């Protein structure tokens, strides 16, 4: 289990062979199905392609994913953590949730949660402690949302990952200024372990790996 290389591409071994999530390319090797992970469609894949060093997605861990959308990145995380892991997928758009549920039905380690990530008390009875909190919510309050969820759910020594979209914080500000301000805010609660600009895969996005202080 892990991230596999396939030519110049990356891939994960499918937990649900025969089922595609976002029309991704698949291939077979030794009778197993692998799904190519597209860095133009998934910020986590983009971060891996750009040399991400801290990669916590091991078999059997529990992950809280904020901003699951229709399950593109979640499905690869589901492949990585395997049947023994649990992936709690928080999404507040009912339209996205309809598609996400179809993915979760095929992958029994994914738990769909229709909720606003600003109110974690609404899902604290479902989500226990997790090794990773991952956030990609494209919301001006991204940092605050991350803090309250990490405080509630992250295990000691757990890892936090944030895909930050600069224009979501302030569309009129230059991205350098937004990153600077956001990092100042992040440093109040977290240690910044790694940061990666996601260009050319995603414009004006920076990916952070954080630890709680
Ligand atoms: C950029 S998309 C996420 C893409 C997804 N992470 C992926 O890689 O497949 C951001 C998602 O966050 C959701 N979102 C934004 N604010 C939210 C909030 N406060 N609570 C829950 N979901 C939120 C949006 O509805 C949207 O589906």
Asked if residue 23 belongs to a domain, the reply is no
Question: How many angstroms separate the alpha carbon of residue 88 from the centre of ligand 1?
Answer: 13
State the chain's mean pLDDT as an integer: 95
Q: Which of 22, 66, 76, 137 to mutate to test the pocket of ligand 1 (most atoms within 8 A of CB)?
A: 137
Asked if residue 4 belongs to a domain, the reply is no
Beta carbon of 78 within 6 Å of any ligand 1 atom: no
Instruction: Output the domain CATH number for residue 171.
Output: 3.40.50.150
> What's the pTM?
0.96
Asked if residue 27 belongs to a domain, the reply is no
Count of domains observed in the chain: 1
Q: How do residues 134-145 score in pLDDT, each as one tens digit?
A: 999 988 899 999
Residue by residue, DSSP assigns the chain as --PEEETTEEEEE-SSTT--SSS--EEEETTEEEEEE-TTT-HHHHHHHTT-------TT-EEEEE--TTSHHHHHHHHHHTTT-EEEEEE--HHHHHHHHHHHHH-TTEEEEES-TT-GGGTTTT---EEEEEE----TTHHHHHHHHHHHHEEEEEEEEEEEEHHHH-TTS-HHHHHHHHHHHHTTTEEEEEEEE-TTTSTTEEEEEEEE-
- Which domain, by its residues, includes 173? 39-212
Question: How many angstroms separate the alpha carbon of residue 29 from the centre of ligand 1?
Answer: 33
Q: How do residues 31-53 score in pLDDT, each as one tens digit?
A: 999 999 999 999 999 999 999 99
Strands 154-165 and 130-135 come out as parallel
Asked if residue 142 belongs to a domain, the reply is yes
Asked if residue 3 belongs to a domain, the reply is no
Query: What is the pLDDT confidence band of residue 92, given thresholds at 50, 70 and 90?
Result: very high
Asked if residue 80 belongs to a domain, the reply is yes
The tokens of 23 are what?
């029309």
Beta carbon of 91 within 6 Å of any ligand 1 atom: yes
Beta carbon of 97 within 6 Å of any ligand 1 atom: no
Beta carbon of 90 within 6 Å of any ligand 1 atom: yes
Asked if residue 90 belongs to a domain, the reply is yes
Asked if residue 203 belongs to a domain, the reply is yes
Query: What is the pLDDT confidence band of residue 172, given thresholds at 50, 70 and 90?
Result: low
Query: Is residue 170 over pLDDT 80?
Result: no
Beta carbon of 148 within 6 Å of any ligand 1 atom: no
What is the reported pLDDT for 53?
A: 97
Residue whose structure tokens are 């040399």: 51
Q: How do residues 116-140 score in pLDDT, each as one tens digit?
A: 999 999 999 999 999 999 999 988 8
The minimum-distance atom of ligand 1 relative to the CA of 117 is: 20
Query: What is the pLDDT confidence band of residue 213, given thresholds at 50, 70 and 90?
Result: confident
């Amino acid at each position: 289990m892990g991230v596999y290389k396939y030519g110049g591409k990356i891939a994960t071994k499918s937990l649900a062979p025969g089922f595609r999530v976002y029309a991704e390319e698949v291939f077979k090797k030794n009778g197993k199905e692998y799904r190519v992970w597209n860095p133009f469609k998934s910020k986590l894949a983009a971060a891996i392609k750009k040399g991400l060093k801290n990669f916590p997605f091991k078999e059997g861990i529990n992950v809280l994913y904020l901003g699951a959308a229709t399950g593109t990145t979640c499905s690869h995380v589901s492949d990585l953590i395997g049947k023994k892991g649990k992936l709690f997928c928080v999404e507040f758009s009912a339209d996205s949730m309809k598609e996400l549920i179809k993915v979760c039905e095929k992958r029994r380690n994914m738990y769909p949660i229709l909720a606003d990530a600003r109110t974690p008390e609404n899902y604290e009875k479902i989500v226990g402690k997790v090794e990773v909190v991952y956030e990609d919510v494209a919301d001006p309050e991204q940092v605050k949302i991350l803090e309250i969820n990490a405080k509630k759910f992250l295990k000691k020594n757990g890892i936090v990952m944030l895909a930050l979209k600069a224009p979501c914080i302030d569309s009129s500000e230059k991205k350098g200024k937004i990153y600077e301000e956001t990092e100042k805010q992040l440093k109040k609660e977290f240690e910044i372990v790694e940061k990666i600009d996601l260009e050319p895969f995603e414009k004006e996005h920076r990916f952070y790996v954080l630890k709680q202080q």
